[in-house]
Structure 1
Amino acid sequence: MGDTTLLLGQTLGFDGDPFADGPAAARHHTHGGVLIRDGRIADVGDGATLRADHPDARVIDHGAALISPGFVDAHVHYPQTAIIASWGKRLIDWLNSYTFPEEARFADPDHAAMIAARYLDLVLANGTTTVASYCTIHPASVEALFTAAQARGMRVAAGKTCMDRNAPDDLRDTAQSAYDDSRALLRKWHGVDRLSYVITPRFSPTSSPDQLQALGALWAEHPDCLMQTHLSEQVDEIAWVRSLYPQARDYLDTYEAHGLLGANGLYGHAIHLEPRERERLAEVDAALIHCPTSNTFIGSGLFDMAGLMAQGQRIGLATDTGGGSSFSMLRTMAAAYEVGQLRGHALHPAQLWWLATAGSARALRMGDRIGTLAPGFEADLTVIDLASTPAIAQRAAQADDLWQALFPTIMMGDDRAIAATYVAGRPVASVK
């Protein structure tokens, strides 16, 4: 039967999409339980019933805390961990002033290993159990993250960032080396343990048409892989793309023309989309990744969550470390709420929580494995203290239902709200 553990507490999961079905898509047990066996969820339901049915299970009682799927962060740059919250730049200046000098340090495998370990420990402390990360041009940066994730048993997706122009000399590869390095890393790591390789052109301004074509060819050879890049983040970026690709119909066309538009594509930001781009993205069922703390921190714009969801787009949520200003998906949910308010559409707490769990898992094409409390799913869980600070506690004490109790933690919570994190059913030691 294997080792069996029963977690007791409130439980929250989804068996539908709250953007389509409303809060009724959620499944909440006030006195619930999650039964874990061999790293997977064996059952979810009433805690007392599960305890009676499985008397030999090891019991961990989290009291009134909320047991949830672990957070899924669908777009990050782990090499930017050390430069998070750097002052005063917009996208292009951010890259030149902060990102590129820091990424050059990843030529040193020891530095890469140190930052990879630091990053994963920070996100685990914030209740995040899966990330999709850009690395640097250095294969060692990918090796470092996958090695650190493997040691922690985490489900992680990542890839070598490819750039062959408009970047410092020490951060450029070529069309051929990008293809060769990416293929070698893919063959070594993709599908090993809980790891997935992601083909990763940074964005069209830093890749020549030849490099985009080479990576499009690699994706065609490995269509089961994800591909991640950036799209329509800032208006000056879009103008730059137009000058570099004068023949393109729009920004998305720079990817589409080179084989980099597809159902397994992850397109970060996607703020300033043209009507054709929106239609094509929906048509191919690509994923758009909303990065709200980044979009406000570097002044990019306001993502059209309501309009894009109404079009049937597949959307994930992400911190965008380190252009994003927090490692916390709680803070990211709060920023998504604020962006929605500025666009005249208040996201319900159920929608926010779904985006950070099942929605992001679906965006990463992992919705059949993670992001949901249901039998058969991998037991990546976070446990939320709904009274983690005096300010949150006094507000939650006035709650009439789950959503009123949870919303103060979404808006004001941080790593203090994470009572526990479980990866494949195993508790993770906190780095707090």
Structure 2
Amino acid sequence: DREGLLGKDTLLFHCIETDEEDKQLLCESQAYLVHCPVSNQLCSEGTMALGQLLQGGARIGLGTDFLTHDIWEVMRTTYRELKMDSHPERWKAEHVWKLATTSPAPQLYQGSIEVGNSADLLFIEDSLSLSPLVELPTFSNVAFNTLTFTRSEHIREVMVNGKWVIRQGKSVLLDEQEIETTYRSLLAEIFSNQLLHARERQIDRSDPAYQQRMLT
């Protein structure tokens, strides 16, 4: 803060080692915080004081930290964390949806369906595992059910900037089979080279038998 690095354009990840003064600065500066709960748990690094920071007015969104982590798992983990807060009644599924969608919107220019935003949309399959979805004037379980029960396999259609990129669960832009084949081939080559180097390092180069092989 003394160097003027904290502000609305500052992007901070994890924020797991914050004292009370740090939390106050993060809320006052309106720096943007990215919460990565699954990564934090897997690495046993601690966790963000999410509920306290939200109550203090901090700007927070959700992140996976790794490409292979599932954003739905991140959302559910975040919801469970909030429900472990000293005031669990404060937090609803809608709060988590906001953290995953409209909260990052100023940073990414997306997150909500409105004029001027990119048409970046994903479509959740109408699965029985989400049922019953109830939307009434006095009650709705849609946010909770979709948060709790949606899995990646329920996302069959994805649109980016108004153009389809996934249809019926398959990319319309890339050859997935070719990518997978190339990826597996590269992995095999990388690990094969690593094993070869490891074996070479284990060879006793002073061994007469090794020296004889090198001469022949």
Smaller-chain TM-score bracket: 0.5 to 0.7
Opposite residue 379 of structure 1, the aligned amino acid is A
The CA deviation at 1:424 is 0.8
2:75 is the alignment partner of 1:333 = yes
2:96 is the alignment partner of 1:356 = no
Task: Within 5 Å, give how 1:112-127 maps onto structure 2.
Answer: none
One of 274, 287, 304 as aligned partner of 2:49? 304
CA gap of 1:278–1:288, structure 2 versus 1, over 3 A, is: same
The CA deviation at 1:288 is 1.3
Match of residue 210 from structure 1: none
Match of residue 282 from structure 1: 27
2:36 is the alignment partner of 1:291 = yes
Q: What is the CA deviation profile of residues 361-392 of structure 1, one whole-angstrom value per residue up to 9, with x for unaligned ones?
A: 23x2x4xx3111111211111111241xx5x2
The CA deviation at 1:259 is 4.6
Opposite residue 113 of structure 2, the aligned amino acid is L
The two structures have a TM-score, normalised by structure 2, of 0.67
Q: Which has the higher contact order (CA 8 A, sep 6+)?
A: 1
Aligned pairs, how many? 164
Counterparts of 1:296 and 1:412, CA distance in 2: 21
One of 377, 395, 400 as aligned partner of 2:134? 400
Q: Secondary structure at the match of 1:359?
A: coil
CA gap of 1:400–1:414, structure 2 versus 1, over 3 A, is: closer
The CA deviation at 1:356 is 0.8
Counterparts of 2:92 and 2:59, CA distance in 1: 18
One of 97, 109, 112 as aligned partner of 1:372? 112
Counterparts of 2:142 and 2:112, CA distance in 1: 21
Match of residue 419 from structure 1: 156
The two structures have a TM-score, normalised by structure 1, of 0.35
Q: What is the CA deviation profile of residues 51-76 of structure 1, one whole-angstrom value per residue up to 9, with x for unaligned ones?
A: xxxxxxxxxxxxxxxxxxxxxxxxxx
Asked if 2 retains the 8 angstrom alpha-carbon contact of 1:263 and 1:285, the reply is yes
The CA deviation at 1:406 is 4.1
Counterparts of 2:53 and 2:26, CA distance in 1: 10
Opposite residue 422 of structure 1, the aligned amino acid is M
Counterparts of 1:270 and 1:343, CA distance in 2: 17
2:148 is the alignment partner of 1:384 = no
The CA deviation at 1:319 is 0.8
RMSD: 2.3
CA gap of 1:356–1:292, structure 2 versus 1, over 3 A, is: same
Counterparts of 2:123 and 2:161, CA distance in 1: 14
- Percent identity over the alignment? 27
Structure number having the greater strand percentage? 1
Q: Secondary structure at the match of 1:316?
A: strand
Counterparts of 2:24 and 2:96, CA distance in 1: 24
Q: Secondary structure at the match of 2:98?
A: helix
Counterparts of 1:297 and 1:343, CA distance in 2: 20
Asked if 2 retains the 8 angstrom alpha-carbon contact of 1:290 and 1:303, the reply is yes
CA gap of 1:278–1:292, structure 2 versus 1, over 3 A, is: same
Asked if 1 retains the 8 angstrom alpha-carbon contact of 2:94 and 2:144, the reply is no
Q: Gaps (5+ residues) in structure 2? A: 177-216
Kindly name which structure, 1 or 2, has the bigger radius of gyration based on alpha carbons: 2
Q: Gaps (5+ residues) in structure 1? A: 1-255
